[in-house]
Amino acid sequence: MINNLSKHHSLVSNWINEIRNVAIQNDRMRFRRNLERIGEIIGYEISKQLPSEEIIIKTPLGEKKSHGLQSQPVLATILRAGLPMHNGLLNYFDKADNAFLSAYRKHNADGSFEICMEYMSCPSLENRTLIISDPMLATGASLIKTIEHLKAVGSPSEIHVVCAIACKYGIEKLHTAFPEVTIWCGDIDDEITSKGYIVPGLGDAGDLAFGEKLQH
């Protein structure tokens, strides 16, 4: 149920190192591209597990038996931080349908926060593979609310969550709420702060990708 790509060294480890590194991560284009590449590699790994079917390919000289995806997945992401990883997944699942949600943290004066959902654009999810990208799985609150909203409009056959960095707390929370979800991540950290940030983590992925925002 949990696939941690950092268990075995690969290029993903190099990209994770770069998005964490304060000396490198302020290069926004490089930060976005690294998230995109992590999404691409995880998309490739997910594709190995998706149902396939036998097809016949006609070439200029004959025919070739092969295999192709049985059906296209739905790629969903949480605005705005999830866009680079979503784009990486879309580079590989280039015929997929797409869903977008605007779940975000609304911070209170006492330092606590609640998850607000103000927008969702979604195709049919009935009996389809759903792949949700969000670079940071911290408290799990945003992903839990996102999955609740998506499942309210349809019943996917399987759900995959794709993130760059997860923490153990968020993984446990997400699997308590939705034990059927498969989690894919570039790395897993042990700690989370009282304000819900992963340690050592990398900071705010949305701000690093797109610039600082006003807090609401």
| pLDDT 10s digits, 199-215 | 999 999 999 999 987 76
Q: Tell me the per-residue pLDDT of 1-22, one tens digit each, with 9 for 90 and over.
A: 899 999 888 999 999 999 999 9
Provide the pLDDT confidence category of residue 94 given band limits of 50, 70 and 90: very high
All domains of the chain in start order, with CATH? 2-48+72-210 (3.40.50.2020)
Provide the pLDDT confidence category of residue 96 given band limits of 50, 70 and 90: very high
In the chain, DSSP finds a helix count (H) and a strand count (E) of 6, 14
pTM: 0.91
Kindly tell me if the per-residue pLDDT of 216 is higher than 60: no
Residue recorded with tokens 């705010």:
204
Name the percent of the chain lying above pLDDT 70.
Answer: 95
Tell me, rounded to whole angstroms, the distance of Cα 85 from its chain centroid: 6
Instruction: Give the pLDDT of residue 120.
Output: 86
Residue recorded with tokens 């699942």:
93
Q: Tell me the per-residue pLDDT of 110-131, one tens digit each, with 9 for 90 and over.
A: 766 677 777 889 999 999 999 9
Decide if 133 contacts 85 (C-beta within 8 A).
Answer: yes
CA angle 115, 181, 67 (to 5 degrees): 130
Taken as a whole, the chain contains a residue count of 216
